[in-house]
Structure 1
Amino acid sequence: METRQIEYFLEVAKREHMTQAAIHLHVAQSSVSRQIVNLENELGVDLFIRKGRRVRLTPIGKIFFERMNHIVHLMDEAKREVNEHLNPEKGTVRIGYPTSMAAYTLPSNIYSFRKKYPKAKFHMTNELYDDLIEGVIQGDFNLAMIAPMPEKKLESKVAGTTLFSENIVALLPISHPLAKKDTLKLVALKEEPFLVLPEGLVFRDQVIQACNHVGFSPNIAFEGKDIDALKGLVSAGLGIALMPEMTLVDNTPQSTVVIPIEDSSLTRTVGVIYPTERDLLPTESLFYQFLIDTYAK
């Protein structure tokens, strides 16, 4: 097998179209087709089911794709590792993050890190909770900031450090009858219309479980696709929302108030994870230790 064959195979598999793959690779479509046929002849199996120029992977093709994709990740990391060992302060940190850390937590840390290492680069990927864990395991990125920290059952494939715990607070319209309270018990909100994230998101589940824990099921009035959407809905007076305290630092919308929740169980852990089956590259190790040192202070 040649490197070019693998490159062409992966591109066709991702796009499921010979012509589109050829356009992206800046080569003739006939060249792509020929290399794929040569690869299949060498392996002795069909990697694709063909329907014109559109294709899809066969079962064995899917297995081959996963293996080759992993190998390409390893090759890319090997090249990066060589370069970064020569000068780790100029390397690249590949990191995943959830939407809730997009406005303040991750940007503030990157800003502080680049004050110390101004030539360091970042490749950032916004993902959902389970995809952050899977992305670290599969090698899409080597670090991920995440909340809450994964359960122990995942520790065989990912490890990490809890950086801090943050409170969950209530965001209310400024005209709300409870808006002048210094603190609230969660049960005081049982009759309120709740604004929550969509089903499948971990923080939505945490909000519902917290309400259930104090004896009520939240009256879900609207869903917002992300934390910023929830802020807008609260600002419009459509209901109240629980959200991580860190998401409101320097970013509390007008016409709303933030009120601490007295219930001590309403917190979430925030941390950073990495794969146990791969070593962090030098620049990533620098950033990982920087995060630990920053929050230790």
Structure 2
Amino acid sequence: MELRQLRYFMEVAKREHVSEAALHLHVAQSAVSRQIANLEDELEVSLFEREGRNVKLTQIGKIFLTHTEIAMKAINNARQQIDEYLDPERGTIKIGFPTSLANHLLPSIISSFKSEYPNIAFQLRQGSYRFLTESVKNGDIDVAFLGPVPKKDPDIESHILFTENILALLPLSHPLAEQNSLHLSDLKKDEFVSFPKGFILEKILVDACKQGGFSPNISSEGEDLDAIKGLVAAGIGVTLLPESTFHESTPNMTVKIPIDIPEVRRTVGIIKQREKRLAPSEKVFYTFAKQFFARLQQFQ
């Protein structure tokens, strides 16, 4: 069994067409067909079945594809480890991040890191809380920033970088807009603007309101921070957002107010796959991130 055969097999499985796979691989169609046939002979099974001009994986082919993808990831990771062992200040790090950390945290740390390690590159991927944790677990992302930090996931190793308050965001026209602080229960009769169900900031909002003794009346939803803030500015409702999302400024026609009771906070941290041994450049970044925020906390 050769790596070339496995690469050809994965490409045909992806495209479900031998000619298209050959075109993408820049080889002759006959070469792809021959290598697939050799692989099937060696395994003594049929990996594909024909459907007109296309091909589909057989049931055993689907099983073999799953294991092949895992094996190829391990091989690629080993190659990366070797390359970076020779020069740990080169390499590419795949980093995940959520919307709530995109405006300030991520640019700050990457800018600082690049000033010290200019030859290390990044592949950045924004996604939901669940997407990021699953991507770290299956190796599609090397490390990810998350808030809150997972506590009891056996497949995730996490490190808390800082803890921040969750603040109320109100329209300037709101009766409580001039308050220095408020009890969350003061907003129990208000309509709320929230991320859709399934987003981690929606869960934080709902859980906080339940701590305050009520279930929020969510009247409007938005899928990004600007949309949420815009809806509040338009007087559609109130919301709860992490303090770091107001780093630049509070949106026009709104006011942010600290919450006295209950105390609502979230942890923000960096995660990696528990069993994965980070490549040298990844380890450099992981360590840098922890030290970067430790220095910030000291300064503050």
The reply to whether TM is greater than 0.5 is: yes
Relative to structure 1, is the Cα distance of residues 18 and 148 closer, same or farther in structure 2, using a 3 angstrom cutoff? farther
Q: Map residues 187-202 of structure 1 onto 2, 5 A cutoff.
A: 187-202=185-200
After superposition, what is the alpha-carbon deviation per residue over 1:247-273, rounded to whole angstroms, capped at 9, x for unaligned? 221154322222222235311111111
Alignment partner, residue 86 of structure 1: 86
Q: CA deviation at 1:34?
A: 4.2
* One-letter amino acid of the counterpart of residue 43, structure 1: L
Counterpart residue number, 1:276? 274
Partner of 1:170, secondary structure, is strand
Counterparts of 1:198 and 1:56, CA distance in 2: 37
Please report how far the alpha carbon of residue 176 of structure 1 lies from its aligned counterpart in structure 2 after TM superposition: 2.3
- Partner-residue secondary structure (3-state), 2:290: helix
Q: Which residue does the alignment assign to 1:116?
A: 116
Q: Please, which moves more after superposition, 11-20 or 170-179?
A: 11-20
Q: 1:194 touches 1:241 (CA, 8 Å); kept in 2?
A: yes
The residue correspondences of 1:277-292 to structure 2 (distance < 5 A) are 277-292=275-290
Q: CA contact under 8 A between 1:15 and 1:21: conserved in structure 2?
A: yes
> 1:172–1:81: structure 2 CA closer, same or farther, 3 Å change rule?
same
Please name the residue that 1:129 is paired with.
129
What RMSD over aligned residues (CA atoms) do the two structures have, in Å? Answer: 2.0
Counterparts of 2:171 and 2:28, CA distance in 1: 59
CA distance in 2, matches of 1:89, 1:21: 35
1:84 partner amino acid: E
Identify the residue that residue 182 of structure 1 maps to in structure 2.
Answer: 180
* Structure 2 residue matching 1:88: 3-state secondary structure: coil
Structure 1 residues 251 and 86, CA gap change in structure 2 (3 angstroms): farther
**Any residues of structure 2 matched to 1:24-173 within 5 Å, and which?**
24-29=24-29, 31-152=31-152, 154-155=153-154, 157-173=155-171
Change (3 A) 1:55 1:225: farther
Offset from partner CA, 1:222-252 (integer Å, 9 cap, x none): 1111223212222222211111111221154
In 2 relative to 1, CA 52–217 (structure 1 residues): closer, same or farther, beyond 3 Å?
Answer: same
CA distance in 1, matches of 2:230, 2:47: 48
**Once the two structures are superposed, what CA deviation does each residue of 1:68-94 show, in whole Å capped at 9, x if it has no partner?**
112211222222212212222222222
Q: Distance in 2 between matches of 1:77 and 1:168?
A: 38
Compared CA separation, residues 167 and 59, structure 1 to 2 (3 A): farther
Aligned-partner SS, 1:36: helix
Q: Report % sequence identity.
A: 48
Q: CA deviation at 1:114?
A: 0.8
Q: CA deviation at 1:286?
A: 1.0
Unaligned runs of 5+ in 1: none
Following the alignment from structure 1 to structure 2, what is the Cα–Cα distance between the partners of residues 69 and 35? Answer: 18
Mapped partners of 2:84, 2:124: distance in 1:
18
With over 3 angstroms needed to count, the CA separation of the structure-2 counterparts of 1:47 and 1:126, relative to structure 1, is farther
Between 1:248-257 and 1:105-114, the stretch displaced more is 248-257
* 1:211 positional shift: 0.9
Residues 253 and 22 (structure 1), Cα distance of their counterparts in 2 relative to 1, 3 Å cut? farther
Match 2:212 to one of 199, 211, 214: 214
**Mean CA deviation greater in 133-142 or 49-58:** 49-58
Provide the residue aligned with 1:259 in structure 2: 257
Verify the 8 A CA contact 1:70 1:139 in the aligned structure 2: no
Deviation at 1:19, TM superposition (A): 4.6
Q: Which residues of structure 2 form unaligned runs of 5+?
A: 296-300
Q: 1:127 to 1:29 in 2, by over 3 A?
A: farther
Structure-1 separation of matches of 2:263 and 2:57:
48
AA in 1 matched with 2:132: L
Task: Look up the SS of the partner of 1:84 in the other structure.
Answer: helix
Superposed displacement of residue 11, structure 1 = 2.3
Distance of 1:60 and 1:226 partners within structure 2: 42
Structure 2 CA distance for partners of 1:57 and 1:238, relative to 1, 3 Å: farther
- 1:9 alignment counterpart: 9
SS at match of 1:42: helix
Amino acid in structure 1 at the alignment position of 2:116 = K
Give the 3-state SS of the residue equivalent to 1:262 in structure 2: strand
**What SS does the corresponding residue of 2:245 show, helix, strand or coil?**
helix
Q: Which amino acid aligns with 1:138?
A: N
In the TM superposition, what is the alpha-carbon distance from 1:188 to its structure 2 partner? 1.0
**C-alpha distance in 1 between matches for 2:131 and 2:99:** 12
Distance 1:19 1:294, change over 3 A: same
Could you tell me how far 1:26 is from its partner in structure 2? 3.4
Change (3 A) 1:147 1:21: farther
- Does the 8 Å CA contact 2:183/2:262 hold for their aligned counterparts? no
